[in-house]
Chain A
Amino acid sequence: MSEGPVIKIDDLHVYFFTRRGIYQALRGVNLTLNKGEVLGLAGESGSGKSTLGLAIMGLLPRNAIIPKGSIILGNGTDLVEKIRGKAPFKKDKLNLRKNELLIRNLNKHLQKIRGKRISMVFQEPMTALNPVLQIGYQIAETVLYHDAERLIRRALAREKVTREDLRNMIKILKNEGERGIYEYALKAGLNGIEEQIFAIWNREDIHEAKKEKMIIDLAKDKLGLFERIGLKLARKGMLKIPLISRLARRALIKEGYRVAKELLSSLGIPQVDSVVKMYPHELSGGMRQRVVIAIALANNPDVVILDEPTSALDVTIQAQILELIRNLRKKTNAAFLFISHDLSVLAEVSDRIAIMYAGKVMEVGRVEQIFEEPLHPYTKMLLDVIPTMEKDTLKPAKGTIPDARYPPPGCPFAPRCPFAKEDCLKFDREIAVTKDHIVSCILYENKK
């Protein structure tokens, strides 16, 4: 599993400027997300966990600043370089207009990365989809703006492929598995057909004979005249020229609808042919959340941030979506950052869990470490308030999270902590108790 970090967050600070004061949402977060893992991020509301997700995406409002810290991708790109410490001030007051321009510049800079290498699923599926655009379009454009090549490749491969080729490939698929297909496609110059075959082959809702027939039918699916012209234009790089680009874009979007159908059926949505032509208001909440997940997965990203993806859903739908996310782990090689206030949800899907409190990470460890041998008093308190079969009374969490405008010095949990001592007010370090179990608490200072 863990083969090195895909995202490394170092000493990240994010502040929000409002009329009532400066909210210090993140105050030095250190966190690493490794390839292929699911990292659960837990915390009460106001702990800064959602802000962390948005900061990674660069989706900050115009009153946000990043005074210091870094978010470094696997290849070394620093995502916050463009705005770190650059906030425009005029006598202690943030110049909102100029800061907005700064953030807009960051947006431009991150456009190629978002949706391609990192993508995000939001909490509220009812409002996350654009009400006036078709579902298929909303998925298709995600591919279009990042990987138009892929769409061209797919369409041309289908144009070229013969029934003979497809029959051969089915044989290979049965005997040698997926790897053989890549080789065959490469040799026959059919690059782009393989993902279409896999999409059919990996479906679970139909039996094998039907799958074979569908794969062979791919050869029948030829392009129309306008699409052929459009693709030719797109191949010649005419996507930037007005009017002509329309034709090209339309052809690509049409191919994108096919991608959308494949993605949606892999996420267990029935009747994808009609679903892609629907508008969001025609779908239920659970279906919409699947569409949003499909959008997040469209370009096979390295990282998917899931910001409370199940909180707004019914319990039964919640279970389905969690099941879906568990399956996705096996199918994709993306790393997931799963943000939730609900530790019991995180327990079901995560490899590791990070506990946040008042803009800081309190404890990070593998799931079993967090649940079986929690170290931080705050983690223990959170575990105490989870309802279980054995407990007959529910203990409410005592105290409240500190005001983010005036965070207490040292350990932010000290005011609520039953073991607090005077030195806590000065303590601000992370202690690796074991190699992968890190805690930020004075109690473990000497136990190293």
Chain B
Amino acid sequence: MKLWAYILRRILILIPTLIGLTLMVFVIIHLQGNNLLLAQYLNPRLTGPAKQQQLEALTERFHLNDPVYIQYFYWLQQIITGDWGYTNTPIYSGSVTTAISLFLPNTIIIAVFASIIIWLLSIPLGVSSAVNRDSIRDHLIRVSSFTLYAMPIYLIAIALIILLGVYFHVLPFSGPVNPLLVSNLDWYKNGISYPTHILLIDALIHGNLTVAWDAFLHVIMPSVTLALGIMAGIIRILRASMLEVLEQDYIRLARAKGVPEKIVINLHARRNALLPVATSFGYTVAGLLGGAVVIETVFNYPGIGYWTTQALLVNDVGGIMSSTLLFGLILVFTTLILDILYALIDPRIRY
């Protein structure tokens, strides 16, 4: 099969998945009748007759008097046109789409930093652990990845806070920036920076290096925590698959034809050992997103996850339901991209 045919097929599979995903969120919203749906779309600031009027308008708009399966399509139409209702939390109150545009960039920056750390560290660590089997380095890598794998991610965060923040005082561990530094800036208001909403980038745009550096320091702990939690699993898979690959005939042949050992490890063995890691990328992304919820909460970092838990604490329907849907959409689309990339690495997958 040609590559483009594979990609086309992969995109077609996306359609039922997307329908299923939205259906699932719709079912969750309807677990208790229409209350949650109304709560999500009712402007929280309205009272009295105005509220009553909007309730009627909503009943009309979502066809709440029609059977449930018809309601789904009206709800879906609403979602597709970009009206995701309202959210009302201590950190932001207003339309869900605006909230997402404010918080998602922060989650992305943490996820990107974490991915870079994972990419830079887990492959060399996993490979060298397998290549130097039973050495002291291997034992160290194994024990630490095993422990990190077993720990819930918020405990990794707490361990890092106690170690680096409380004991050594080397890194800040709360919020996106030191509030004193940004109190008088005209491009930073109510904890929101402009224009990209990513403090680090905005500070660079405005040429404020002090703030940029401080923002960078604040990103380190959350992203390192996230990276550690996910790396542990990747290192374990990679070590095991590397050990298996090193026993293969084609590695023996590569040695028999006099390929230098460095090339045998880094090209012949590693490329094959990475395949099982690449197939588990979907789980990695899921871990990254789920982990972000917890980590942003622990570090008070204003991303989608922090917004979600804030919404949880004040029973804000818009925040919870939209983030469930949003996380699902992100996961589905990143797995799609990763699958296509995977087909590019491994020629066998297309057939």
Contact = CB atoms under 8 A, between A and B. Distances in A.
The answer to whether A and B interact is yes
Interface of A: 57, 59, 96-97, 100, 104, 107-108, 110-116, 119-120, 122, 124, 127-133, 141-142, 145-146, 279, 281, 292, 295-296, 298
Given A131-B272, A281-B347, A107 B261 contact: yes
17 contacts: A57-B256, A97-B134, A107-B255, A114-B258, A122-B249, A122-B253, A122-B256, A124-B249, A128-B250, A130-B253, A131-B250, A132-B271, A145-B257, A145-B259, A145-B263, A281-B347, A295-B253
| Listed residue (A114, A116, A120, A128) with the most chain B CB atoms within 10 angstroms of its CB | A128
Contacts of B275: 132
Contact of A145 (B258, B271, B272): B258
Contacts of B348: 131, 279, 281
B63 interface: no
Contacts of A108: 261
B260 interface: yes
B347 A130 contact: no
B261 A119 contact: no
Given A100-B133, A141-B259, 7 more contacts: A59-B255, A107-B255, A116-B258, A120-B256, A122-B256, A128-B252, A132-B346
Contacts of B135: 97
A112 B248 contact: no
A146 B257 CA distance: 9
Given A114-B258, A145-B259, A129 B250 contact: yes
Contacts of B267: 133
Given A130-B268, A279-B348, A295 B257 contact: yes
B167 interface: no
B336 interface: no
Contacts of A124: 249
Interface of B: 133-135, 248-250, 252-261, 263, 267-268, 271-272, 275, 345-348, 351
Contacts of B263: 141, 145
Given A122-B253, A127-B249, A112 B271 contact: no
A256 B263 CA distance: 17
A298 B133 CA distance: 33
A114 B257 contact: yes
B253 A96 contact: no
A128 B253 contact: yes
B194 to A, nearest CB: 39
A110 B275 CA distance: 30
Contact of A281 (B259, B271, B351): B351
A132 B347 contact: yes
Top 3 A-B pairs, shortest CB-CB distance: A115-B258, A115-B257, A114-B258
| Listed residue (B252, B271, B345) with the most chain A CB atoms within 10 angstroms of its CB | B252
A119 B256 contact: yes
Given A279-B347, A281-B348, A142 B258 contact: yes
Nearest to B254: A130
A145 B258 CA distance: 7
A59 B256 contact: yes
B99 to A, nearest CB: 44
B256 A114 contact: yes
A382 B27 CA distance: 75
Given A122-B249, A132-B271, A132-B347, A111 B260 contact: yes
A281 B351 CA distance: 10
B256 A115 contact: yes
A128 B351 CA distance: 20
Contacts of A114: 255-258
A111 B351 CA distance: 36
Contacts of B257: 114-115, 119, 141-142, 145, 295-296, 298
Contacts of A145: 257-260, 263
A159 B218 CA distance: 58
A113 B258 contact: yes
Contacts of B255: 59, 107, 114
Nearest to B248: A127
A128 B249 contact: yes
A292 B256 CA distance: 11
A436 B345 CA distance: 55
B268 A133 contact: yes
Nearest to A141: B259
Contacts of B351: 281
Contacts of A142: 257-259
B184 to A, nearest CB: 46
Given A131-B272, A132-B346, A59 B261 contact: no
B92 to A, nearest CB: 47
B256 A132 contact: no
B261 A129 contact: no
Contacts of B345: 132
A57 B255 CA distance: 9
Contacts of A107: 255, 261
B222 to A, nearest CB: 33
| Listed residue (B258, B259, B346, B348) with the most chain A CB atoms within 10 angstroms of its CB | B258
A130 B245 CA distance: 10
A59 B259 contact: no
B250 A127 contact: yes
